[in-house]
Structure 1
Amino acid sequence: MDLIKNLENAFAGKEVEKVPAASIVSVALVEGMEKTGAGFPESHTNAEKMLQLGESAHKYAGVESINLPFDLAIEAEALGCTVDLRDANEHIPEITESPFFDDIESVDLCDDFLSNGRIPVVAEAVALGREKYPDIPMVAGQIGPFTLLGQIVGIEYLMRCLATHPEEVKTAVEICADAVIEVVKAYNTLDIQGDCMYEPSIAADLLPPEMFDDFVTAPLERIAKAADFNMVLHVCGDTTPILNHTLDLGYNGFSFEDCVNVKEANKIKYNLNSNTQLVGNVATDSLFHGKMDSIREETFRALDNGIDILGSSCCVPPGTPLKAMECMVKARDEYYEKGMDSKREQNELNLSWKPDYSEIIPPVANIHAMTSVRKRSRI
């Protein structure tokens, strides 16, 4: 199967050989680090190590993409924030200081933004990946503007400013959108097939849905228009209340968690006549704990209900076993080998989802609380 063509067809809403099993969100697993010798923090700062870790999910689990980078602090660091890369494989970098903290009016984009911090490292790693793997989809990523603003001024302060200084928030979000667009334009010069923009802070439990249009619609649309590649918007949590927004912003894909009903998302997509493809949503909890039966059933359910690109519901926790990711890919293969895709095709035609198995609500995982790595014996 031509993996690049298959993924591009999926993004375009065209017929695919199989729904791509190309997790669009970050996949950086401890087992991959052990196999490649590319652990944290080196794989955050060294382009060759970054690629070695990024390619491991493809090499050892069959995931149909290579995803870079692995953390959401890169843009904030380039804006002048201090980032602790940390030294444990299961921990991701965190922002410890910011020149804009509690001062939304001071937010500004520095002239040397693109050359600061680790943005050049990501670009180099992507270029190395394209040279080494000309036939494998390369997927990049960056933070979204509203979440970036929350990182650099403080999320609690930003939430207060929504009520006390709404115009200043709008201005600052646009400045952060300018920063994201600079990254997108840099990625336009690279040969990538996808990009994931992470916007967890626009979830309905943080940004009230009635404020969506006022604060984030315009900057998010502006970013989508700047990309010459397939761009996916990812939002954590239950995004059901904002599906009418997120599926109508001009993105090629929308990635969401397992607590969102793919059936309902697909109905909304059809009602909007949206060209945004549905991405996800196998539960991170099932993957992390290696629940192979659950992974298989969730994969079948997502495919039945019309998921367009199969993958994890959120960033894959580092402690996830490679076998769990491989299970997801093999379940996708089994779905087609057994002719189960005929049910998917019928569902696409009439939007009447009546699967044979019970509609079990999968568990919702808080991956940010998963700080420990489960010990597994090597075979």
Structure 2
Amino acid sequence: MDFKNMTLMEYITSEPRRFFLTDLGTNGLKFVNKKVYEVYENPEIQFEMAKILDQEFPGDFVYPLSDGNIISETLGVKLLKPDYDFPSPLEHKVLTIEDVRALKVPDPKKDGRMPTNLKSQNLIATGIDKPLYVSIFGPFTLAVQLAGATHLLRELIKNKDFVVELLDFTARCVCTYAKAVVEAGVKYMSIAEPASVTLSPENFRELVLPRLKSVYESVDCWKQLHICGDTRKFLPLMIESGPDAISLDQIMDLKSAVKIFPDDIVLVGNIDPIDIIGRGSVEDVERVTYKLLEDLEAYPNYMVAFGCNAPNDAPDENIKRAIEITKSYMTKF
């Protein structure tokens, strides 16, 4: 299929069935018998794992092992690095405007693991004939990784100039990296802004919205926005930011949310990854997946996915069954 010249809407309506976006954790490590950083640091292993995952869980997109902390790591953030789970920040050292001004936007072709990551993405994009999907932390969440949530929110009240300058810097970092991954072959890029759910809609409009727009306007690919949690108060702003798709958490009612979606923005979600995919039975997966498909049956701009990435130890049969049901569900429009 020549998806390269399609819009996301054209792609997910190119066949008379529903499409599935598979978003996994470290579920693929067992297939290659490797630890997280062994995959991150070896493009050939990353490519091999992507091929196996595409065979085991054949959704409509292909993906590398998520590397959401790569920008913060390249900027010097010390990370906790579990063998079989994603890394996470251990400390936050960007506390003043002077700290921000001492930072430099990383060069994805030279700095840290970024060149290796780009090579991995290019191998997958050229070696597997499906759109390559990646998730990148957005400017606000990257700022939280650098400064810490408590400090950033406190400074929002006491010293807003610090917050604004830090966000301007992180937006440049995300734009630069986003351009590089698209050049490497990424077709579908999701910006994850989980930390922004702590803001008021007014602060979201001022601090997050313009920087999301700048990221989306900087790249030519399919663009998605994902924010965890209850995002009802942000939905109009999320739509305004300019993505091709919006992914919603499992606590959101998609049947209600879709009513305010423009016809050309794809609603993505939202099978519960914890209680259904991670802990439920195959029968639970069938019940929830069919209900979503039936609830959203009238909307061409709907694509099935988990509410967030699947737990690392989720039963394979649960993931497979959700994909099978979705891809065999015929559309009526």
1:295 aligned residue: 285
Partner Cα separation in structure 2 for residue 7 and residue 105 of structure 1 = 45
Distance 1:80 1:113, change over 3 A: farther
Which is worse superposed, 103-112 or 207-216? Answer: 103-112
Aligned partner (choices 39, 59, 65) of residue 63 of structure 1:
59
Q: Tell me the alpha carbon deviations over residues 185-209 of structure 1, each in whole angstroms, 9 at most, x when there is no partner.
A: 1123122220111110111xx1112
Partner Cα separation in structure 2 for residue 259 and residue 164 of structure 1 = 33
What is the identity, as a one-letter code, of the residue corresponding to 2:224? V
TM superposition shift of 1:8: 4.5
Partner Cα separation in structure 2 for residue 66 and residue 149 of structure 1 = 28
TM superposition shift of 1:225: 0.4
The secondary structure found in structure 1 opposite 2:268 is: strand
What is the identity, as a one-letter code, of the residue corresponding to 2:149? I
What is the identity, as a one-letter code, of the residue corresponding to 2:271? V
1:121 aligned residue: 116
Partner Cα separation in structure 2 for residue 222 and residue 47 of structure 1 = 30
The secondary structure found in structure 2 opposite 1:107 is: helix
Q: Tell me the alpha carbon deviations over residues 74-116 of structure 1, each in whole angstroms, 9 at most, x when there is no partner.
A: 11011122223222x2x2112224441x335522441544222
The secondary structure found in structure 1 opposite 2:210 is: helix
What is the identity, as a one-letter code, of the residue corresponding to 2:172? D
Contact 2:12 2:19 in 1 (8 A): no
Q: TM-score, normalised by structure 2?
A: 0.89
What is the identity, as a one-letter code, of the residue corresponding to 1:15? T
**1:153 corresponds to 2:147:** yes
TM superposition shift of 1:26: 4.2
Which is worse superposed, 179-188 or 62-71? Answer: 62-71
Distance 1:75 1:112, change over 3 A: closer
TM superposition shift of 1:274: 6.2
Distance 1:164 1:46, change over 3 A: same
TM superposition shift of 1:293: 2.2
Partner Cα separation in structure 2 for residue 8 and residue 298 of structure 1 = 30
Aligned partner (choices 251, 254, 258) of residue 250 of structure 2:
258
Contact 2:238 2:246 in 1 (8 A): yes
Q: Tell me the alpha carbon deviations over residues 135-172 of structure 1, each in whole angstroms, 9 at most, x when there is no partner.
A: 12211221110000001111111111121122321221
What is the identity, as a one-letter code, of the residue corresponding to 1:118? R
Contact 1:22 1:310 in 2 (8 A): yes
TM superposition shift of 1:41: 2.8
1:167 aligned residue: 161
The secondary structure found in structure 2 opposite 1:43 is: helix
Contact 1:68 1:141 in 2 (8 A): no
Partner Cα separation in structure 1 for residue 39 and residue 319 of structure 2 = 20
Partner Cα separation in structure 1 for residue 270 and residue 199 of structure 2 = 22
Partner Cα separation in structure 2 for residue 9 and residue 151 of structure 1 = 33
Give the alignment of 1:168-317 within 5 angstroms. Answer: 168-203=162-197, 206-269=198-261, 273=262, 275-285=264-274, 286-304=276-294, 305=296, 306=299, 308-317=302-311
Partner Cα separation in structure 1 for residue 207 and residue 220 of structure 2 = 24
Contact 2:97 2:165 in 1 (8 A): no
What is the identity, as a one-letter code, of the residue corresponding to 2:66? F
The secondary structure found in structure 2 opposite 1:259 is: coil
2:96 aligned residue: 103
Q: Tell me the alpha carbon deviations over residues 201-260 of structure 1, each in whole angstroms, 9 at most, x when there is no partner.
A: 111xx1112221111111111101011111111111111111111112111111111111
Partner Cα separation in structure 2 for residue 287 and residue 279 of structure 1 = 16
Contact 1:177 1:219 in 2 (8 A): yes
**Residue ranges of structure 2 left out of the alignment (5+ in a row):** none
Q: Tell me the alpha carbon deviations over residues 12-42 of structure 1, each in whole angstroms, 9 at most, x when there is no partner.
A: 587331222122x44430xx32222233231
Which is worse superposed, 60-69 or 256-265? Answer: 60-69
**Residue ranges of structure 1 left out of the alignment (5+ in a row):** 346-379
Partner Cα separation in structure 2 for residue 104 and residue 146 of structure 1 = 16
The secondary structure found in structure 1 opposite 2:329 is: helix
Partner Cα separation in structure 2 for residue 48 and residue 290 of structure 1 = 34
Contact 2:43 2:119 in 1 (8 A): yes
Partner Cα separation in structure 2 for residue 333 and residue 144 of structure 1 = 30
Equivalent residue pairs, number: 325
Contact 2:25 2:65 in 1 (8 A): no
Aligned partner (choices 28, 37, 48) of residue 26 of structure 2:
28
What is the identity, as a one-letter code, of the residue corresponding to 2:270? N
1:16 aligned residue: 14
1:361 aligned residue: none
Contact 1:209 1:241 in 2 (8 A): yes
TM superposition shift of 1:310: 1.5
Which is worse superposed, 119-128 or 59-68? Answer: 59-68
Contact 1:77 1:83 in 2 (8 A): yes
The secondary structure found in structure 2 opposite 1:66 is: coil
Q: Tell me the alpha carbon deviations over residues 114-144 of structure 1, each in whole angstroms, 9 at most, x when there is no partner.
A: 22222222211111112321x1221122111
